[in-house]
């Protein structure tokens, strides 16, 4: 391993890791942070935000940060493995044939990464380097670079030890399951999912010239798998997702994604990319760059619940790949609306009451279906738009209620739909009485079980019975239509 190629990030006891600068930058760009000129550590950041009464924003940022960090830990391991490989096989750096070893642009990539390291971390001794979060006025602006840190030797050696163990564990896992071929992978894939060629470029934000590379120009997303030329290397490829959790907001989408991520054949982006609704103008290269690398046979996934209610999303996803599998986690639209309202209330405590927003006027008669918390629950209406672009068999409807009452049962259906072996089963779950939700049992070698964070499973405010009844009556015809469209009775009425 080329130690000089690593910065480290200190995020308190849980998140202290050495990171490759390329990965650090990816973390920052995934979080859409803009680098600025004042550095803070995450614990300082916590204090600062608490002082500024920005506790909620801080919690959200940090929980998002942790999600992205999970991804980064994986990617970091892979990079270490690559660097080791290059060190042991220097001749592979020269090869022009990707089938012979690493893709030809690798040496160039390594140079860029090392250059990045020198620029940002070079003046710090490697054991003192940490990721810095940038802060300006009342806003967290970015994270990047490295800065001296004292008394960190103990923490860093712990981090190195845990990373080494992780590395050994991953190596054993992949090799024992036959995924770790020493022979180079083939150039063409023939498996079921649509597959596109890939470039190993880092985020265009980090390397603005990456788009100009010959590798970047190989991208041709509109073609069929057979006509594209997927360039694969020993360490997997970044692919467009073959399956997306498109909705619904507050349906249980995070739980589903986290449950799926324990499957060895699923790799997913931790944060919501919001590509098909907010960032479409960034282009498909940008999107694919956000994806984790997958090995042959693994599925790439992402979840962005707002796609379900974004008119343009269906056509856009279809223009990427009309065979994309689409998962919709649905939940009783009344409870969903209250959950949505509760989330907004947490952010804006001065929000008017639920009922005053749910009714069109104070007469308390007509439901205001322009209020997003109500509108999102008109599942049949949104589905109508999706079915114009995708056939019914590409959708799987997951019951948000059953995901809580019978996670293993619902996960069985999801794995079947994705063509995966049923690996995630009841042995992975336990019901956490305090949380009131199923959580993942602690994986071997890990110190604690995994429940979703505080932003999931919030206590809902009490809503007057007559308002609930009125809303149920309002949704009834739409639910009925949705049961027909989905071929399932979710039992909300």
Ligand X SMILES: Nc1ncnc2c1ncn2[C@@H]1O[C@H](COP(=O)(O)OS(=O)(=O)O)[C@@H](OP(=O)(O)O)[C@H]1O
Annotated binding site for 3'-phosphoadenylyl sulfate, which residues?
250-254, 331, 339, 456-460
Does residue 388 touch ligand X according to CB under 6 A? no
Pick the stretch among 10-18, 228-236, 243-251, 479-487 that binds ligand X (CB under 6 A): 243-251
Binding mask 264-293 for ligand X (x = CB under 6 A): ------------------------------
Q: In whole angstroms, how close is the CB of 457 to ligand X at the nearest point?
A: 4
Nearest residue (CB) to ligand X, 20 versus 249:
249
Q: In whole angstroms, how close is the CB of 64 to ligand X at the nearest point?
A: 11
Pick the stretch among 25-33, 218-226, 246-254, 309-317 that binds ligand X (CB under 6 A): 246-254
Pick the stretch among 57-65, 189-197, 245-253, 381-389 that binds ligand X (CB under 6 A): 245-253
Nearest residue (CB) to ligand X, 216 versus 255:
255
Give the count of residues interacting with ligand X (CB under 6 A).
18
User: Among 46, 389, 402, 456, which residue sits at the site for ligand X (rule: CB under 6 A)?
Assistant: 456
Binding mask 341-380 for ligand X (x = CB under 6 A): -x--------------------------------------
Does residue 255 touch ligand X according to CB under 6 A? yes
Nearest residue (CB) to ligand X, 190 versus 434:
434
Q: In whole angstroms, how close is the CB of 439 to ligand X at the nearest point?
A: 6
Q: Which residues form the catalytic set? A: 250
Task: Kindly identify the residues of this chain, within the stretch 210-239, that bind ligand X according to CB under 6 A.
Answer: none
Does residue 428 touch ligand X according to CB under 6 A? no
Pick the stretch among 54-62, 81-89, 146-154, 248-256 that binds ligand X (CB under 6 A): 248-256
Q: In whole angstroms, how close is the CB of 443 to ligand X at the nearest point?
A: 16
Does residue 404 touch ligand X according to CB under 6 A? yes
CA distances from 51 to 46, 134, 140, 481 (A): 9, 17, 14, 50
What sign does the CA torsion over 116, 117, 118, 122 have? Answer: positive
User: Among 458, 461, 476, 489, which residue sits at the site for ligand X (rule: CB under 6 A)?
Assistant: 458
User: Among 61, 254, 267, 382, which residue sits at the site for ligand X (rule: CB under 6 A)?
Assistant: 254
Helical axes 465-486 vs 379-386, angle rounded to 10°: 30
Does residue 297 touch ligand X according to CB under 6 A? no
Does residue 411 touch ligand X according to CB under 6 A? no
Does residue 250 touch ligand X according to CB under 6 A? yes
> How far apart are alpha carbons 119 and 146 in whole angstroms?
10
Does residue 438 touch ligand X according to CB under 6 A? yes
Pick the stretch among 105-113, 162-170, 186-194, 453-461 that binds ligand X (CB under 6 A): 453-461
> How far apart are alpha carbons 63 and 271 in whole angstroms?
10
Does residue 305 touch ligand X according to CB under 6 A? yes
Query: For binding to ligand X (CB under 6 A), which residues are involved?
Result: 249-255, 305, 339, 342, 403-404, 437-438, 452, 456-458
């Amino acid at each position: 391993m080329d130690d000089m190629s690593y910065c480290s990030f200190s995020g308190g006891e849980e998140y202290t890791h050495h990171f490759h600068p390329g990965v650090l930058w990816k973390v920052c760009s995934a979080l859409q942070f803009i680098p600025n000129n004042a550095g803070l550590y995450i614990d300082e950041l916590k204090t600062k935000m608490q002082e500024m009464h920005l506790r909620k924003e801080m919690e959200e940022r940090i929980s998002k940060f942790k999600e992205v960090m999970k991804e980064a830990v994986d990617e970091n391991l892979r990079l270490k493995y690559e660097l080791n490989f290059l060190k042991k096989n220097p001749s592979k750096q020269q090869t022009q044939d990707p089938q012979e070893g690493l893709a030809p642009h690798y040496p160039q990539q390594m140079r860029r990464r090392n250059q990045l390291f020198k620029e940002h971390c070079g003046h710090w001794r490697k054991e003192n380097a940490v990721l810095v979060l940038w802060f300006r006025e009342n806003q967290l602006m970015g994270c990047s670079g490295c800065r001296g840190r004292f008394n960190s030797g103990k923490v860093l050696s712990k981090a190195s030890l845990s990373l080494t163990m992780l590395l050994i564990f991953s190596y054993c896992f992949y090799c024992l399951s036959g995924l770790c071929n020493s022979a180079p992978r083939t150039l063409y894939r023939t498996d079921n999912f649509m597959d596109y060629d890939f470039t190993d470029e880092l985020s265009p934000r980090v390397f603005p010239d990456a788009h100009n590379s010959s590798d970047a120009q190989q991208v041709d997303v509109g073609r069929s798998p057979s006509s594209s030329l997927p360039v694969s290397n020993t360490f997997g490829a970044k692919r467009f997702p073959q399956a997306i959790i498109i909705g619904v907001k507050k349906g249980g989408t995070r739980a589903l994604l986290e449950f799926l991520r324990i499957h060895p054949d699923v790799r997913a982006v931790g944060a919501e990319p919001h590509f098909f609704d907010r960032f479409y103008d960034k282009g498909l290269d940008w999107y694919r760059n956000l994806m984790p690398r997958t090995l042959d046979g693994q599925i790439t996934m992402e979840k962005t619940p707002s796609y379900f209610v974004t008119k343009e999303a269906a056509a856009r996803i279809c223009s990427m790949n009309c065979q994309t599998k689409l998962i919709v986690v649905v939940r009783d639209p009344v409870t969903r609306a209250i959950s949505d309202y509760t989330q907004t209330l947490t952010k804006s405590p001065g929000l008017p009451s639920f009922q005053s927003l749910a009714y069109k006027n104070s007469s308390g008669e007509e439901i205001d279906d322009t209020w997003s918390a109500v509108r999102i629950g008109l599942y049949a209406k949104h589905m109508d738009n999706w079915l114009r672009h995708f056939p019914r068999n590409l959708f799987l409807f997951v019951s948000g209620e059953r995901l809580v009452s019978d996670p293993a049962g619902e996960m069985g259906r999801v794995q079947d739909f994705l063509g995966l072996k049923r690996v995630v089963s009841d042995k992975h779950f336990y019901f956490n009485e305090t949380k009131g939700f199923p959580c993942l049992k602690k994986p071997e070698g890990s110190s604690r079980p995994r429940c979703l964070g505080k932003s999931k499973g919030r206590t809902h405010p009490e809503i007057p019975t007559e308002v609930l009844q009125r809303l149920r009556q309002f949704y009834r015809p739409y639910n009925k239509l949705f049961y027909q469209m989905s071929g399932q009775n979710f039992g909300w009425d």
